[in-house]
Chains A and B, each alone.
Chain A
Amino acid sequence: MLPARWLVLLGGVVLALAGCASPDEAHTLTFWTIGREGEAVAKLLPAFEREHPDIHVNVQQIPLPAAHQKLLTAFAGDSTPDVSQLGNTWIAEFATLRALEPLQARVDRSTVVKRDDYFTNIWATNVIDDTLVGVPWYVDTRLIFYRVDLLKAAGFSAPPRNWAQWRKALAALSRPQQGIYGILLPTNEYEQLMSLALQQDEPMVRDGGRYGNFRSEGFKRALSFYVDTFRLHQAPPITAVEAGNPWDEFGRGVYAFYFSGPWNIGEFRQRLPAGEQDRWATAPLPGPEGAGVGAAGGSSLVIFRRSRHKEAAWALIEYLSRPDVQQRFYDLLGDMPARRSAWDGDSLRNDPKVLAFREQLEQVKPTPPVPEWERIANEMQLVAAQAVAGTLSIDEAAKEMDRRADHILEKRRWILDHERRVAGAAP
């Protein structure tokens, strides 16, 4: 006869095995969020779980600096979550890994997720090689924050709309001898130069992402505008680390313009005194000809291919995509909704500081959809910093960026050509 504790142990094992197959267990969804979103989501989920009593959502918050590697490690280790938030610059990478579930069929059947309601180019960042792999969740784009009072004092009644006007305003507002500059462009951040480059007609990679295209006239124009801002002493050649606390300095008038994204609306509201709140405003990013073209940023919701609960996962995505839920999400966190109808809510419609974002979101452009893009953008900025320091001319810098991009894209070229050869050989 078995001793009593063996029986207990055996019973535990049987229970554990039964637990694996029970319906409760089958509908526990693992949902990874990156950064601050997890806290807000936790407040939205009770309503979802009331609507779907059979689904339990297990939210795991991943800190942003660790997110990318954790997702890749999860993929390599076969332990990806069911649903995840995914920055839309990372989507191409995970689509290349074939880690993401195609969603077009589900969207076609859906009564909630309607493509027409989404900002067109934000939606486009989720389509990789003609396959839809994510649904936009929240969006961002970088534009200009500016000091209304300083511009007015210098004789500008409206924010600049094109580069010529912007240059004039920057010149009028810079007094480098006194440490006062038109704008802060941290030399270690690539997003600013990338936004200017996305305003050009020529893309930054060519031939289906086989080669860098930094030597195009358009990119050189953007790079010249960027570098000239430093050469004319309208921006200090410092990094974000050296810049320290840009919010206070913006408040004190050290910079008249600040080139950043929606999360800084909250920062400025919190950090600047109440009496100074009407001194600043936002405006669409001035372009070579007209304003409002910028980089399409933000995060999407994706389902991983290896998920065993895809129906439940899709239910969660539909819930989080509902306009009323998106509005609550904005109220909780300030993350801007990806669909137009969610912008009709009071908190967004009546806020003058977000209107510029609304305008620009209609015209944002996606970043090049190659998995190597983040690395290429990093290299682009390292070279641009050398041009700012004056060690490279514009032409030399563009050539060097192309050289580095071509080097990074070597494997991609080989694979694309290899696949073409294989496809050509097949009957």
Chain B
Amino acid sequence: MLYGVEDIIKNVLSLDAKETNLRPGEFWAVDGVSFELRRGECIGLIGPNGSGKSTLLKMLNGILMPDRGSIEIKGRVGALIELGAGFHPMLTGRENIYINGSILGFSKKEIEQKFDAIVAFSELADFIDTPVKHYSSGMYVRLGFAVAAHMEPDVLLIDEVLAVGDVGFRAKCYVKIAEKMKNCTVVFVSHHMPQVAKLCTKVLVLDHGKGLSISDPSRGIEQYNSLFPDTQLTIAGTGDAHIENLRLLNAQNMATDTFMYTEGMCIMFDVQVAGNYEEFLVSITFMTADTNLIAQCHSKYNNTILTNSGKRSTVSVTIQNLTLNPGTYYMNVIIFDKSNMKHLLWMFGAKKVIIKGDFLGGAPIQFNAVWKQIQQ
């Protein structure tokens, strides 16, 4: 607060504002980041929370001024940063379209021309004369997106607003953005890597305000994933089962955590289950670095019966064809009782698995299909 007052006084008196010196408690939110972008290109800004993505976006939007360095932008800038800006809950959808439109820089004539298209896009024609306070949050955001989507900017700034609405509407938003991208330059901030991989032509990785790299999306995303610490092993369950010597073997029977795409993998471990269980089931699941489950193999679904006498046994699970997309994954091991309901042991993040390959796909599973082309 006092810095604010100090800055005001300096500005008004035209004193030299802070150039390179930070006052106690201050830090550079974005520092040493340079890039150039042309029409038709889309840059993805990715990085952990607080890495400076939104600050950079605000500077590009002209809301914040850089304290050093410069930004040059040619053309009209449109920002999909805040959906439904200026909406008043008491007013109807129709009135709010006009208000939001004016805030986004539409003239009255432009809004009138686009009004029908906006309403059609939002699919809210039945509720357009209802005060928006009666809208559900999804409807509210749809209306906001519908207005924003009808901007015709030269430079479009997008900040994670797409993670809203139902599946159908989200898909529609994508199509609209892809359509816009043809005619403008896009700066896209997101934590959702498949989106980034799909939309961006290059990626800027930010961490603690520093630009780490500008590269093609696949390499950028890899670097982004490497910024996060390994998922910690967490053990839960009733405690009636124990696992030791969990190891991953490659085709050469070597213990490793790195596998080639389509290589075979053998998971081995020694297990001891309390004697009162006659049988037990094992589920092995794979998840991405952001803990989304993507693949599973389960003893019961593979028609294998694991019997128990209370003594230690060794289990090996062989996956012949590992078709995970190159990247980093974590493996969980869960031991169930016969009913598949009671968790005897739950090892979350039991192993890290790195898949190498000469490509980077947009989806976690990359089927190794057989392709044929028949010439006519």
Is B one of A's binding partners?
no
List the interface of chain A (C-beta within 8 A of B).
none
